[in-house]
Structure 1
Amino acid sequence: MHRRRRTALLLTAAIAAAAPVLTACGSDAHPGAAAVVGGQRITVSQLESRVDEVRKAQRAAVSDEAQYQQVVASTGGLTRDTLHNMVLDRVLHRAARDEGISVTRKEIQQMRAGLERQAGGAKGLETAWLQKYGIAPARLDDNLRLQLEAQKLAAKLGTDTTQPAFWKTLSKASEELDVDLNPRYGSWDVRKSSRVDAGTPWVREVTTAGDQPLTA
């Protein structure tokens, strides 16, 4: 079961609480794809590249190799969490679009400026997002757009991001997009709009250069 990771103010990119209501998986039908969302592929190479961004940022943030290996060990589910975020981004964007919601560049900049003040500057915010949510600095604005879409969607629905009405809307978007995960990364729970593990302990994480293979 995925854990919910929220602050009091923000919806993070890793919102999830999975239950076993699964969509079909079909890696044979989509060779080279980590997931297919709305007919659009998220390729394994795209996923690996995104994970590599995080690993490089984590390595740059610590002073020695021993510390970096500790960080790697503590974020062993990074590949699966990253794919979850990439899929959820598309699901939430679809749900927001269906409700006529959009987010401007100015709104993202305003949100970022406020968070930077709280975090003691741009570097502090980037470090916090990297450590807490596995978001590389280059993807921070994308994550803030995701959160703004979630906040606007919840407001339009007259609810908040913890309530069933919000998740029902994401569930509808998941169904419309027909999310299909490669079985090595688990399956997609339509009702909760969340990735769930397939329960195959022999499956190993996709690794990037310099990383040690991690078991699922």
Structure 2
Amino acid sequence: MHRRRRTALVLSAVIVAAAPLLTACGDDAHPGAAAVVGGQRITVAQLESRVNEVRRAQKAAVPDQAQYEQVLASTSSLTRDTLHNMVLDRVLHRAARDQGITVTRKEVQQMRGGLLQQAGSAEALETAWLQKYGVAPERLDDNLRLQVEAQKLAQKLGTNTTEPAFWKALSAASEELHVDLNPRYGSWDVQKSSRVDAKTPWVREVTTNGTQLTA
């Protein structure tokens, strides 16, 4: 997955023509860890719990078994994509923290309000985020907080989320955190702040009034 295709909402990237810098960790070095980010483990159990949240929500939204099987087939890479998102969340948070950026609950609610107007209801918004971006309803506000954080980071850097300056900040944060990925889930590209061969979008382009932009 390239950085211009992340899970739900604000970011869109440029292609960087550079050789990837990869780091990985094995089960022996970090038993039970899906990844280690900034010395903090993301355990396999935590990853599985997050994936199960999405699967439960998908099952509830699509009670027909045949349709649910189609959903499973179309999201077969959910575990790896979810881990990618969990790691990148921490990378973005570090980049924002390095710039002294914080996000208030009011800012998150303002963004949610704009999206609610577009969706028509909380249920419709949650369903859309689940179906399009693999975000479970209980994680929606967490995801929106990251979107606000990304927007504020870009503003602080005097750029926008499509420009190299923004992604350079994420790359620096990624390197600071010494991301180690369990090889079973792929490898981490420091320059692109991305799991190698991830495919699920992490962030979508949406304006503050809820209008989706093209990537």
TM bin (shorter chain):
0.7 to 0.9
Aligned counterpart, 2:151: 151
Give 1:52's aligned residue: 52
With structure 2 as the length reference, what TM-score do the two structures score? 0.85
Q: Deviations over 1:172-201 (max 9, x none)?
A: 000110000000000110000000149xxx
Shift of 1:158: 1.0
Q: Name the structure 2 match of 1:119.
A: 119
SS at match of 1:42: strand
Unaligned runs of 5+ in 1: 199-216
Q: Read off the aligned partner of 1:159 and give its amino acid letter.
A: T
Q: Which runs of 5+ in 2 are unaligned?
A: 199-215
Return the letter of the residue paired with 2:114. G
* Aligned-partner residue type, residue 78 of structure 1: L
CA distance in 2, matches of 1:58, 1:164: 35
CA distance in 1, matches of 2:36, 2:178: 8
Give the partner amino acid of 1:171. Answer: S
Q: Are 2:51 and 2:79, in contact at CA under 8 Å, matched by a contact in 1?
A: yes
Residues 37, 178 of structure 2: 8 Å contact kept: yes
Give the AA of the match of 1:112.
R
* Matched position secondary structure for 1:159: coil
Secondary structure at the aligned position of 1:35 is classed as strand
C-alpha separation in 2, matches of 1:166 and 1:15: 9
Q: Secondary structure at the match of 1:93?
A: helix
For 1:76 and 1:16, the matched residues in 2 are separated by: 27
Are positions 1:175 and 2:175 aligned together? yes
TM-score normalised by length of structure 1:
0.84
Structure 1 counterpart of 2:37, which letter?
V
Find the residue that maps to 1:31 and give its secondary structure: coil
CA distance in 2, matches of 1:3, 1:81: 13
In 2, distance between residues paired with 1:72 and 1:114?
A: 30
Displaced runs of 4 or more, over 2 A: 1-7, 14-21, 24-27
Change (3 A) 1:16 1:71: farther
CA distance in 2, matches of 1:156, 1:23: 29
One-letter amino acid of the structure 1 residue matched with residue 30 of structure 2:
H
Q: How does 1:104-143 map to 2 (within 5 A)?
A: 104-143=104-143
CA contact (8 A) 2:3 2:194 kept: no
Q: Could you tell me how far 1:62 is from its partner in structure 2?
A: 1.0
RMSD: 2.3
SS in 2 for 1:76: coil
Between the aligned partners of 1:113 and 1:6, the Cα distance in structure 2 is 22
- 1:114 deviates by 1.1
Look up the SS of the partner of 1:10 in the other structure: coil
The alignment partner of 2:34 has SS state of strand
- For residue 41 of structure 1, what is the aligned residue in structure 2? 41
Instruction: Name 1:73's counterpart in structure 2.
Output: 73
